Amino acid sequence: MVLVAGGRAAAQTVVVSTPMPPPAWALMERELLRHNSLACERFAAKYLDERGYLLHTPRWGTLDGPDDAIETFYNWTLLHALGGSDSVLQLYKKAQEGHWKQYGELRTRLTGLAANGAYYKEFITQSDWFHTGEGMRAFMFLGLSDPDNELYRERMKRFAGLYMNEDPEAPNYDPVNKIIRSFWNGSKGPMMRKATLYDWVGDPVPGSFHLLHNPAGRGKLLDMKTYYPKMLAHCTEYLDSVGDGFLNLAATNLALNAFMLTNDEKYRKWAVEYVDAWKQRAEACGGNVPSTIGLDGKPGSEYNGQWWKGTYGWNFTIFDGELEQIAHRNYFTAGTWPGFSNALLLTGDQAYVNVLRRQMDNLYAQKKVVNGRTLLPQNYGDPRGYKHNGPPSWYNYTPNLHIDRLTEIYLWSMDPKDLERVPKSGWIGFLEGSEAGYPEKALAADFQRVRRQMAQIRGDATSADTRLADYLLDLNPPATNALVNLTLGGYFAGGRIWTLHSRFRYFNPEERRAGLPEDVGALVERLGPDSATLTLVNVNPVEPRTVVVQAGGYGEHQFDSVTAGGRTTPVGGPLLTVRLEPGAGSQMVFKMTRYRNPPTLAHPWERGWFGRNQR
């Protein structure tokens, strides 16, 4: 039985009293949230000291430096926002504050970037956004749980201001040409010179370590003094820095979050302005997002018009002297997908998805079928891939079909044509009506991951003086991907986007916190362009539970109506309160308008009914 309370002046309330035996998926979700939280507590007890310092040997560098140390906690804030324990949130905060202090004490001799600490004003001095972004993943999600934290709000505004020229010591942005002026940027401003090997690698430190970025370092200790020349050889061709690059599009995460915390239009305006400039540049390059923009704002002008050049760019095929082999490292999705999807959130304009789709169209137009396998080019430029002066062309064909990025395009557009490129298996297969047992299978796999990680932690006999920053990344225990898929209808492509794109999010009104309330399970069963099917259940047969359901990770969508128990109720806003009686549950079909509202991090009780703020 479903009853409706509340009026049009406030968010509707639906009361569910129909008995529902606890489904296996709901019980598994609850236990996974609980054991994820316990695993975080065990990890912190072993690898954090009382100051919040990570127990390892700190070093500057991109191979095993500050970004890796704090990336260890990359999904802890997300776990709390899903419904993990409050202890997880407090432990992350302890680790983050400790991290800034620990790496603030770092001193380097061979590079000036960390001569007085890796951070200045609590932000990395200078780095590239592939690594800066990795180190900020958990911080970007802190607003999901703690948007009223004044210190967090102040920091996010200050960090966003580094790319809006609000800090005279960090003139990172050129508002005339609409570029971030260097591949290397941060709180000390843009690097307007070539980088050095020591900027990338840092100083050697005494001792022997597990150097996990190299297969030779796995399972054994390598002497840093002896191995250091190899580490330098890893980065010999990474030195071009001046001018903008597509990785810098990830800096829009700062402005997006500052906007969602403050509703200050200047942050939205800057992010959209910057992405729009990149949109025009992609159009000028035939739909390919260029990897380098000169100081004049034109694609490839630092390389005689060759838009495919630059560190981590389309033609970044180098000889890795550490691995002693040619390596192809084009990271075109790492900044492009965050940047354009952030603009989608801020405007609701599908034109930004069109840019990503056209980029994929260009790759698929070059596909080859070899021995029955479809291969796509991963690079553009030199046809032989290395040190050749032939005409530019697509090269480095591999079986990587970028399915994760195609999945994102589909979920953002909900265009059936985009779905045609995505395999109907796994989570997408479940949403499309096949693989009925997928929820239990996916949750079981995540239980196995937590068990495996905890077994490794218990068996880890290393000491802090043999661990560098990247060592503990592989031991981070919580598993959150299945929970994001199943409960929120959200998706992360390899963890490389630090924004929560989802169809739903939940809040606990009784405890005034983010996440599914105790005993509540949620399963997103189907997604459509203007609809979504969600089952909510209270597995507790004794006590009722109340949950606030939000349309979108940031309230960017709109509930038009909800049908449950044969009754349709108008909603007309991004929030719906559902009271689940003891042991009750119901399937609910929502009619929705996607990307209707400005995104916000404000919790429901802080903003009331959001209808007046519709676009």
DSSP codes of every residue in 274-290: HHHHHHHHHHHTTT---
Task: Report the alpha-carbon angle 59-63-67, nearest 5.
Answer: 65
Cα Rg of the chain (Å, integer):
24
CA-to-CA distance for 446 and 439, rounded, in angstroms?
Answer: 11
Q: Burial, 156: exposed, middle or buried (Cβ in 10 Å; 0-12, 13-18, 19+)?
A: buried
Averaged over successive runs of 10 residues, the pLDDT of the chain (615 residues) comes to 43 92 98 98 98 98 95 98 98 98 98 98 98 96 98 98 98 98 98 98 95 72 92 95 98 98 98 98 98 98 96 95 91 96 98 98 98 97 65 94 97 98 97 96 98 98 95 96 98 83 97 98 98 98 98 98 95 97 98 98 80 43
Question: What is the greatest pairwise CA distance in the chain?
Answer: 74
* Torsion, Cα of 158, 160, 166, 170 (10° steps): 90
Q: For domain 2-21+503-607, say whether CATH 2.60.40.1180 is its number.
A: yes
Please give the order of strands across the beta sheet that includes 520-528: 520-528, 531-538, 585-593, 558-564, 567-573
Per DSSP bridges, beta strands 123-124 and 504-508 are unpaired
Query: For residue 607, what pLDDT is reported?
Result: 80
CA-to-CA distance for 120 and 39, rounded, in angstroms?
Answer: 32
Query: For residue 417, what pLDDT is reported?
Result: 98
3-class secondary structure, 495: coil
pTM over cut 0.85: yes
**The two three-digit tokens of residue 37, written as one number:** 């939280």
Query: For residue 120, what pLDDT is reported?
Result: 98
DSSP 345-399: HHH--THHHHHHHHHHHHHHTT-EEETTEEEEEEEEE-TTSSS--S--EEEEEES
Beta-bridge mates of residue 569: 562
CB contact burial 359-382 (16+ within 10 A = b; e otherwise): bbebbeeeeeeeeeeebbbbbbbb
151-205, pLDDT tens digit by residue?
999 999 999 999 999 999 999 999 999 999 999 999 999 999 999 999 999 999 9
Nearest to 266 by CA among 414, 165, 137, 367: 165
User: Please, which residues have CB within 8 angstroms of residue 459's CB and are 6 or more apart in sequence?
Assistant: none
Q: Burial, 449: exposed, middle or buried (Cβ in 10 Å; 0-12, 13-18, 19+)?
A: middle
Instruction: Say if CB 440 and CB 381 are below 8 A apart.
Output: no
CA-to-CA distance for 503 and 491, rounded, in angstroms?
Answer: 10
**The two three-digit tokens of residue 239, written as one number:** 């030195």
* Torsion, Cα of 271, 272, 274, 280 (10° steps): 160
CA-to-CA distance for 254 and 186, rounded, in angstroms?
Answer: 12
Residue entry with tokens 């997908």: 337
Query: For residue 218, what pLDDT is reported?
Result: 67
- Each domain of the chain, given as residue ranges in start order, spans 2-21+503-607
Report the number of secondary-structure helices (H) and strands (E) in the chain.
19, 22
Phi, psi of 387 (to 5 degrees): 50, 55
Residue entry with tokens 């003139």: 171
3-class secondary structure, 519: coil
CB contact burial 308-319 (16+ within 10 A = b; e otherwise): bbbbbbbbbbbe
Rounded to a whole number, what is the distance in angstroms from the first to the last CA of the chain? 35
297-328, pLDDT tens digit by residue?
999 999 999 999 999 999 999 999 888 899 99
Helices marked H in 290-350 — which ranges?
A: 332-347
Nearest to 539 by CA among 550, 523, 524: 523
**The two three-digit tokens of residue 78, written as one number:** 């997300």
